[in-house]
Amino acid sequence: MFRDEAVLQCTAGKGGQGCSSFRREKYVNMGGPDGGDGGDGGSVVLVAETQESSLYRLARHVEARAEDGRPGEPRHRTGRRGNDEVLTVPVGTVVRDAEHGNLLADLATDGARVTVAAGGKGGRGNSRFATAVNQAPRHFERGMPGERRKLKLELKLVAEVGLIGLPNAGKSTMLSVLTAARPKVGAYPFTTLDPALGILSGGRNGRDVVLADIPGLIEGAADGKGLGHRFLRHVERTRMLLHLVDCSSEAADPVADWRTIREEIEAYSAELAARPTVLLATKVEDDAARAQAEALFAAAGAGLQVSAATGDGLDALVRLLLGRDWEPAEAGF
């Protein structure tokens, strides 16, 4: 099941207690203090991995708790450090403090990691307190408690190209014909509820191009209507937008549909609205649809006429996507 939000309570391990001990060996008088330090507590760590695609597993994780450090031991032996609790999250996860709302980390690359709750430091043993005037100290320290923090995790998909448009504009179908992704496709009276990713192979420099099917937006999405903000945040990381508009003979007003989505994008983020965008007139399969597409281009600007059913225009679209130089420096995350 796809989840793009989760709340997680994190508790790091506390440090182990220092040891109060004195050296006792046969034939050795006045051995002196030899209590070792306690081990540090384990930390809670998040690591981004491409194998993860959803926050569903963490959403079911009530609390992440790291191991406590072990107490110090005689003969200056330090207690064992507590094991870290390492949790994997999808690439693109944004980590915030749930109580204060401040950004802790943006795990936008594979292997990125962040310590969200640091383990407590172990206490010092009595051997640490020996001085010239106090050669037999019995004093030792207790370990420090580990950090506790409540996190809010949000997933923003990482993709070069984002497919946007009103429900039933043909985004899922377009993703299925351009890539090996197989989202549910059909004339549903509702929009796709979960974003989907697909990979278009053969780009410049041998890089694959990742496409994200962003669930259909509705009017008022920028104000939170429907699932607006949840959907819109998934296009924030994309480097190019494909704006799909239904121009079939059954479409009522493609120009109005185009304007609806543009206004929502502009209301949500001026930076996102300025991102390179290719307008796609979809479902162009007859003369009436071609007339609708021409009227759309006259109002909105140049674009491509495509049909997933007949394949018309898809070669030009693929050449456009694969011909771009998707260098990492261009990401601007």
Name the 3-class secondary structure at 122.
coil
Cβ partners under 8 Å of residue 249, min gap 6: 286, 288, 289, 292
Of 101, 129, 155, which closes a domain?
155
Q: Helix 287-300 vs helix 254-268: angle between axes, to the nearest 10 degrees?
A: 40
Assess contact for 40 and 69: CB atoms under 8 A: yes
Q: Give 328's pLDDT tier (boundaries 50, 70, 90).
A: very low
Task: Looking at the structure, tell me whether residues 19 and 142 fall in a common domain.
Answer: yes
Token representation of residue 329: 């420096």
High-pLDDT (> 90) share of the chain, %: 47
**β-bridge partners, 281:** 245, 305
Task: Looking at the structure, tell me whether residues 214 and 169 fall in a common domain.
Answer: yes
Residue 275 corresponds to which amino acid? R
Task: Looking at the structure, tell me whether residues 135 and 174 fall in a common domain.
Answer: no
Task: Looking at the structure, tell me whether residues 91 and 174 fall in a common domain.
Answer: no
Evaluate if residue 9 carries a pLDDT over 70.
yes
Residue given tokens 């011909």 in the structure block: 323
pLDDT at 64: 94
How many helices and strands, by DSSP H and E, does the chain display?
7, 14
Rounded to 5°, angle at Cα 272 from 270 and 278 = 120
Name the 3-class secondary structure at 245.
strand
| CA dihedral over 306, 308, 311, 314, signed as positive or negative | positive
Q: How many domains would you assign to the chain?
A: 2
Task: Looking at the structure, tell me whether residues 234 and 264 fall in a common domain.
Answer: yes
Task: Looking at the structure, tell me whether residues 120 and 175 fall in a common domain.
Answer: no
Evaluate if residue 8 carries a pLDDT over 90.
yes
- 219: domain CATH number? 3.40.50.300
Task: Looking at the structure, tell me whether residues 192 and 316 fall in a common domain.
Answer: yes
| Secondary structure (DSSP) of 198-224 | EEE---GGG--EEEEEPPPP-TTGGGT
Task: Looking at the structure, tell me whether residues 95 and 174 fall in a common domain.
Answer: no
Q: Give per-residue burial for 98-109: e unless 16+ CB within 10 Å, then b.
A: eeeeeebbbbbe
Q: Helix 171-178 vs helix 314-323: angle between axes, to the nearest 10 degrees?
A: 70
Assess contact for 216 and 173: CB atoms under 8 A: no
> 139-184: per-residue pLDDT in tens?
999 999 999 999 999 887 777 888 888 887 888 888 888 887 766 5
Of 101, 123, 155, which closes a domain?
155
Residue 76 phi, psi dihedral angles, 5° rounding:
60, 25
Sheet of 304-305, strand order: 196-200, 209-213, 161-164, 240-246, 277-282, 304-305
Task: Looking at the structure, tell me whether residues 40 and 150 fall in a common domain.
Answer: yes
Token representation of residue 42: 């384990």
> 78-124: per-residue pLDDT in tens?
999 999 999 999 888 999 999 998 999 999 888 999 999 999 999 99
Burial of 184 (0-12, 13-18, 19+ CB in 10 A): exposed
Q: Give per-residue burial for 280-295: e unless 16+ CB within 10 Å, then b.
A: bbbbbbeeebeebbee
- 15: domain CATH number? 2.70.210.12
Domain of 112? 5-155
Assess contact for 37 and 21: CB atoms under 8 A: no
Q: Give 255's pLDDT tier (boundaries 50, 70, 90).
A: very high
Evaluate if residue 136 carries a pLDDT over 70.
yes
Task: Looking at the structure, tell me whether residues 191 and 293 fall in a common domain.
Answer: yes
Of 112, 139, 155, which closes a domain?
155
The pTM of this model reads 0.69
Task: Looking at the structure, tell me whether residues 127 and 177 fall in a common domain.
Answer: no
C-alpha distance across the termini of the chain, in Å: 26
Task: Looking at the structure, tell me whether residues 193 and 86 fall in a common domain.
Answer: no
Cβ partners under 8 Å of residue 24, min gap 6: 31
